[in-house]
Structure 1
Amino acid sequence: MAKLEEIAELITEEIKEFENSVSRLEEMQAFLMNYKIKPDTKDIDFILRRYNDDQKRTIQDQHKLMANVVYYIKKSMTTPKWVIKLFCGLFTCIILVLGFSVYKVSRISKIEQEAYGQGEEKAVGHFRAFFKASPEASALYQEWREPQSKK
């Protein structure tokens, strides 16, 4: 019987502890039922605001870049390939004409000297033929050439 009493005593202690646990659970349940939960979204709001600011800055930078691109596109001028080829051809022709002109101008002094020499030879030949044809003119010329002081 002693054992039965011990067992009964243990069972009663366990039941009391169980009742205490149940009463604490009921108190906690009542507390939790009356407790109002306030959602705190400060951290999420901060993250979203920062992300929004980053997006605004990114969009502003993109608008600036796009404005620069549009400005340079409007400022630029496209030329067809045939215009560039025509310009290069004309430029080459101008350079060739200028080079040829410079070459010809540099040869003018040589040409003048040759022409002067030929003219001198013709004039001398003409005077010799004239003097052979008229000996009186040759004698007058010789008198004129010689200084009068030597006479």
Structure 2
Amino acid sequence: MAKIDELAELLVDELNDFKSALDKLQEVNRDLQSIPLKPDTSDMDKSMRDFISLQGQIFKEHQKSTFDLSRKLGRSNSYPNWFIALFLIFLIAFFTITGVCIYRLDRISDTNTMYFKKGQESVMEHFNTFLIERPEIDKAFQEWQTNQNK
């Protein structure tokens, strides 16, 4: 039983120590509650204002350089002037040569028709002259022609 009494006494001492520690904590808590605590954010506000100002300046510089670049690109030519002039000369020469070739091709068919008619007339004249000069061949030709028509 002596041990139970010792344990009970030890437990009572521990409870008293716990109660005194709890009382001290409550007193410290009351003291902390009574102290007015106001956080100072002025340094943070100043840093934020400086950062926002710096970002504004960077944005303005970026906007200005973008505007300058777009203006320069708008004024620049994709191709040099000499290249455009050379290309136009090439186009004019191409269309001129194409037009002349088409005109000549059209004239060739007219010329061919004219020479064909001249050649046909010349052959017929030569053939008729041949038949007039050689009556025996003319007679044989006439007989052959009649046999062909039957």
Structure-1 separation of matches of 2:90 and 2:145: 61
Partner residue of 1:58?
60
Partner residue of 1:8?
none
Give me the identity figure in percent. 20
Partner residue of 2:95?
95
- Is 101-110 or 127-136 further displaced after alignment? 101-110
Partner residue of 1:121?
121
Partner residue of 2:130?
130
Structure-2 separation of matches of 1:149 and 1:41: 125
Structure-1 separation of matches of 2:67 and 2:130: 93
Q: CA deviation at 1:131?
A: 1.0
Question: Alpha carbons of 1:121 and 1:100: their partners in 2 closer, same or farther (altered >3 Å)?
Answer: same
Structure-1 separation of matches of 2:102 and 2:148: 51
Q: CA deviation at 1:53?
A: 1.9
TM-score after normalising by structure 2: 0.53
- Structure 1 runs (4+) greater than 4 angstroms displaced: 40-47, 62-70, 75-78
Gaps of 5+ in 2: 1-41
Question: Alpha carbons of 1:99 and 1:149: their partners in 2 closer, same or farther (altered >3 Å)?
Answer: closer
* Equivalent position amino acid for 2:126 in 1: H
Q: CA deviation at 1:51?
A: 2.0
Partner residue of 1:141?
141
Structure-2 separation of matches of 1:148 and 1:123: 21
Partner residue of 1:79?
80
Structure-2 separation of matches of 1:116 and 1:78: 53
- The number of residue pairs the alignment matches comes to 108
Q: CA deviation at 1:128?
A: 1.1
Structure-2 separation of matches of 1:55 and 1:76: 32
Q: CA deviation at 1:114?
A: 1.4
Question: Alpha carbons of 1:92 and 1:58: their partners in 2 closer, same or farther (altered >3 Å)?
Answer: same
Q: Within 5 Å, give how 1:34-49 maps onto structure 2.
A: 47-49=49-51
Structure-1 separation of matches of 2:149 and 2:64: 105
Q: CA deviation at 1:125?
A: 0.4
Structure-2 separation of matches of 1:97 and 1:67: 43
Gaps of 5+ in 1: 1-39
